[in-house]
Amino acid sequence: MSEKKGFTPEKTTLLFINNDSEPLFSKKNRALLTDPMDDNNPITVQVLGICSALAITVQLKPAIVMSLSVMAVMGASNVIISLLRNLIPNRIRIIVQLVVVAAMVILVDQILRAYAYDVSKELSIFIGLIITNCIVMGRLEAFALGNGVWKSFLDGIGNAAGYGFILIVVAFFRELLGSGKLFGFQVIPDFIYDMGYVNNGLMLLSPMALITVGIYIWIQRSRNRKLIEKN
Amino acid sequence: MGFLRKKLDEIKRPFRKGEKFEKFAPAVNAFDTFLFVPNHTTKTGSHIRDAVDLKRTMVTVIIALLPALIYGIYNTGYQHFTQLGSDFSFLDAFIHGAWKIVPMIVVSYVVGLSIEFAFAVYRGHEVNEGYLVTGLLIPMIMPVDIPLWMVAVSVAFAVLIAKEAFGGTGMNILNPALTARAFAFFAYPTYMSGNKVWVSEASSMDGVSGETILGTLAANGNINYSMFEMFQGSIPGSIAETSTLWIIVGAIILITTGIGSWRIMLGSVLGAAFMGFLFNLWGANALMSFSWMNHLVVGGFAFGVVFMATDPVSAAQTAKGKWIYGVLVGIFCIMIRVFNPAYPEGVMLAILLMNVFAPTIDHYVIQGNINKRKKRWASTLKTA
């Protein structure tokens, strides 16, 4: 087994929780969950996972299913990699990570096909493409390889939640303004259409997803000044 | 004059530094500078005294736009009455056009300027004059029958996304007026293309053939307008883009005052003529065999090249870069027209595309110049 740089040797057991006396939801652990929602959001701050944010945010339902799938994949693969972190040879760690993520993605895909066939068909290739989502690999590399199981689990769930949150916000506006619906039900009443309102066709095209994310980043940074890079 | 100045200073008192309404000073100053030239000068470094400031530049552009706008107002009425088949006088046509177009201009200015003022107050900088031109350009490149709220939404999008997001006047990469049109074009396609939108109040009438010439050609139809009509502008189209004659008058104003770049205009015309000529030789469909001379006078080509491509902020800045930029605008315009009949108006997309590439062009022009001078320096060292 090769020693990796930056690793803090800790009492590693294959136990789920380390024996140190940190409570399950200590302040640090809670930060793992809440940080990715705002200060360290994978999409708006780290700018990862943009492609899927463009592709599946035309409607709200696929966006939610996608967020849940990513959450399942990230939680599970973070846990597995964290369990294996001291067994994986450094040189082939990317391959090991890929195998684990791919296995998780296939599981999620099969479950969706079995229980939510319509959504699965709608999402088509994008479920399979979770494996290429930079957020998943990024968190494995940056966190799960160097942290305990419980923390890695929280980190995976937190980052997936931050990703999903942006997806849902973008999908909400795109479906509402682009087709006047939410979850496939018409929410803009007929009399507004009679008054001459027309759905915005640009909202259905993917450039608008990018612009919506951009507007979100703009608002986020003007509210949270510490995110603005100094140069 | 002294009396007016005193009165204004009195009004401005509560907006001074440390006073009650200090926050709203930019808004008041904006109105003040409409009446009086501000008396502040550059604080540091060398500076040039010149009577032409941003405001005068913008007013000159507006003067250059007026001939095309006035003809556009007349043409709106002319198209309406001729398609209707009724008798009309010049005044009838003009009043009908004004009735349609003045509200659009008002909406554009009200929406755009309120966003600009809100940002100026919020960010604490002065209101810039850039919107004076943009606000007039936007209604001029819209179809006449577009609902006013769509104009408002497009204006809001253009000012927010194309301008304020990048830091306001002078910082935008894309031309805001064209961004507004592109937004409307992709968001509300049924209101921006087709054969009914170009003639006012045509949707309720039967037998109206108000298609633009490029639209007809894209559908492989025959056009029954003479070259002179296309040049003079009595054809259906966006409000002020039809009359090449009056746009040339505007171009002359821009070039003689030195505000519009003749390199960009001439480059675009040459590029478009060259591309049109090549397609004439090929001649595979109606758009390709459409004479290259006609390509120059129909559609928004002339308007876009004179008033949009020359936008000093989003165009290339170097002299050589302006030639490259202009020629490519012309080439891409005709290429988009011919190859993609879904977007018969290629000039909008061509200019937006080249706006994105303008900084790259400038970079390579400047680098080329640096390298050339380095070589020259090296060779003088050798001979000496």
Evaluate if residue A1 carries a pLDDT over 70. no
Read off the pLDDT of residues A189-218 as tens digits, 9 standing for 90 and up.
Answer: 888 888 888 888 888 888 888 899 989 988
Torsion from C-alpha of A87, A88, A89, A91, nearest 10 degrees: -170
Read off the pLDDT of residues A54-90 as tens digits, 9 standing for 90 and up.
Answer: 888 888 888 898 899 999 999 999 999 999 888 888 8
> Which of B161, B186, B203 best probes binding to A when mutated, by most A CB atoms within 10 angstroms?
B186
Euclidean distance between CA atoms B183 and B82, whole angstroms: 31
| Chain A hits for B147, Cβ within 8 Å | 196
> Which of A198, A223, A225 best probes binding to B when mutated, by most B CB atoms within 10 angstroms?
A198
CB count, 10 Å around CB of B229?
Answer: 15
| Chain A hits for B145, Cβ within 8 Å | none
- The reply to whether residue B165 touches residue A200, judged by beta carbons under 8 angstroms, is no
Of B149, B161, B189, the CB nearest to A201: B189
Euclidean distance between CA atoms B312 and B306, whole angstroms: 12
Euclidean distance between CA atoms B109 and B161, whole angstroms: 17
| Chain B hits for A201, Cβ within 8 Å | 186-189
Euclidean distance between CA atoms A83 and A80, whole angstroms: 5
Euclidean distance between CA atoms A116 and A55, whole angstroms: 19
SS (HEC) of A146-196: HCCHHHHHHHHHHHHHHHHHHHHHHHHHHHHHHHCEECCEECCCHHHHHCC
Encode burial over B324-344: b for 16+ CB neighbours within 10 A, e otherwise: bbbbbbbbbbbbbbbeebebb
Euclidean distance between CA atoms B252 and B127, whole angstroms: 29
| Chain B hits for A202, Cβ within 8 Å | 183, 186-187
Which two structure tokens, joined as six digits, stand for B135? Answer: 């606000």
Radius of gyration of chain A (CA): 20
In A, minimum Cα distance to B148 occurs at A196
- The reply to whether residue A198 touches residue B165, judged by beta carbons under 8 angstroms, is no
Which two structure tokens, joined as six digits, stand for B122? Answer: 């919020």
Euclidean distance between CA atoms B327 and B116, whole angstroms: 33
Euclidean distance between CA atoms A181 and B248, whole angstroms: 47
Gap between the terminal Cα atoms of chain B: 65
One-character DSSP codes across B230-266: HHHT-SSSSTTTS-HHHHHHHHHHHHHTT-S-HHHHH
| Chain A hits for B188, Cβ within 8 Å | 198, 200-201
Give A165→chain B minimum CA distance, Å: 23
Share of chain A above pLDDT 90, in %: 16
Give B141→chain A minimum CA distance, Å: 19
**Longest CA–CA separation in chain B, Å:** 82
Euclidean distance between CA atoms B40 and B25, whole angstroms: 15
Euclidean distance between CA atoms B324 and B368, whole angstroms: 14
Give how far Cα A129 sits from Cα of A10, A70, B1, Å.
35, 10, 71
Provide the 3-class DSSP secondary structure of residue B212: coil
pLDDT in tens, chain B (384 residues): 677 777 777 777 777 766 667 777 777 777 776 666 666 666 777 666 676 777 788 888 999 999 999 999 998 888 888 877 777 888 888 888 888 899 999 999 999 989 988 888 887 777 777 788 889 999 998 888 888 999 999 999 999 988 888 887 778 889 999 999 999 988 988 888 776 677 777 666 666 666 777 777 777 777 777 778 888 888 888 888 888 899 999 999 999 988 888 999 999 999 999 998 888 888 777 777 788 888 888 878 889 999 999 988 888 889 999 999 999 999 999 888 888 777 777 889 999 999 999 999 999 999 999 999 999 999 888 876
Q: Do residues B175 and B315 make contact, with C-beta atoms less than 8 angstroms apart? A: no
Q: Do residues B191 and B143 make contact, with C-beta atoms less than 8 angstroms apart? A: yes
Please state the separation of Cα B359 from the chain's center in Å.
19
Give how far Cα B255 sits from Cα of B66, B163, B263, B265, B266, Å.
16, 26, 10, 10, 11
Q: For chains A and B, count residue pairs whose Cβ atoms are closer than 8 Å.
A: 24
Q: Is the pTM of this model over 0.90?
A: no
Residues 167-196 of A with CB under 8 A from B: 196
